[in-house]
Amino acid sequence: MHVLVTAGPTREPIDPVRFISNRSSGKMGYAVAAAFAARGHEVVLVSGPVALAAPAGVSRVQVQTADEMLAAVSARLEWCGALVMAAAVADWRPRRAAAAKLKKAAMPVALELEAAPDILRALAERKGGRVFVGFAAETGDPLPEARRKLREKKLDLIVANDVSRAGSGFEADTNKVTLLPAGGAPIDLPLMSKRGVAERIAEWVLDRAAGASAAAAET
Ligand code: CTP
């Protein structure tokens, strides 16, 4: 299978030395890419800036901004059979990035923001028979928001996690997630390594893709 995975944060420039970003370490997305590659699938990993080496057998495309991530994913969408969006894409960005460093004495009292592109929403129309997986990182019970995002972003599966829990979310090596399939019962996983979570996601995607091709062969 051809699998497109995104990981890490994006950086939205304020000026040439400053940016808006978030705490994503990329560990979850890199683990997903490694899990598919270890099973012999072809993986392209579109990654924001993180301190991780590309996993063995994975081809990596490095990007900085939400616009660059959208362009890199969009260009490879036809190629892939599954898209796993583990990246923490910026929701907002400065309306204008200054061309030169803003000086301390000239502090702006506020930064004017605008929405960055929502990559999953932008690509939903071109989904076709591809398997789309998203993540919902929330503080508190993630399930209500995860269900909303599953529906609104036309996903097949969303991985819900409460990033305020110990051992979960940003920077941790472990995660405690619930897999929410569209039209299926939630799968509550115990606290486990991010690689363990990644294996479960890969298994789910491969089962779904195999089920879809078996159904197509019958008709
Ligand atoms: N996502 C995306 N483009 C964005 C923001 C998020 O494609 N600009 C993807 C993420 O990669 C993730 C899913 O959408 O797989 C949910 O991301 P999240 O940040 O939780 O959702 P938002 O739509 O940003 O919703 P909110 O800020 O209301 O929580």
What letter does residue 8 receive in the DSSP assignment?
A: S
pLDDT digits (tens, 9 = 90+) for 79-89: 999 999 999 99
Question: Can you tell me whether residue 77 is helix, strand or coil?
Answer: coil
pLDDT at 24: 95
Look up the pTM and report it. Answer: 0.96
Q: Whose CA is nearest to atom 27 of ligand 1?
A: 91
Phi, psi of 186 (to 5 degrees): -60, 145
- Cβ–ligand 1 contact at 93 (below 6 Å): no
- Band of pLDDT at residue 23, cut at 50, 70 and 90: very high
pLDDT digits (tens, 9 = 90+) for 170-194: 888 999 999 999 999 999 999 999 9
The DSSP H or E segment spanning 92 is strand 92-94
pLDDT digits (tens, 9 = 90+) for 90-101: 999 999 999 999
pLDDT at 11: 98
The enclosing domain of 193 has a CATH number of: 3.40.50.10300
The DSSP H or E segment spanning 207 is helix 194-218
Q: Where is average pLDDT lowest: 8-12, 62-66, 103-107?
A: 103-107
Q: How many CA atoms lie within 13 A of 74 on its CB side?
A: 15
**What is the domain count for the chain?**
1
Q: Which domain holds residue 73?
A: 2-99+108-218
pLDDT digits (tens, 9 = 90+) for 153-163: 999 999 999 98
Question: Can you tell me whether residue 215 is helix, strand or coil?
Answer: helix
The answer, yes or no, to whether residue 219 has pLDDT greater than 80, is no
Phi, psi of 82 (to 5 degrees): -145, 140
The residue-averaged pLDDT of 48-73 equals: 98
- Cβ–ligand 1 contact at 91 (below 6 Å): yes
pLDDT at 80: 98
- Cβ–ligand 1 contact at 70 (below 6 Å): no
Which of 153, 178, 179 should be mutated for ligand 1, with most atoms under 8 A from CB?
153
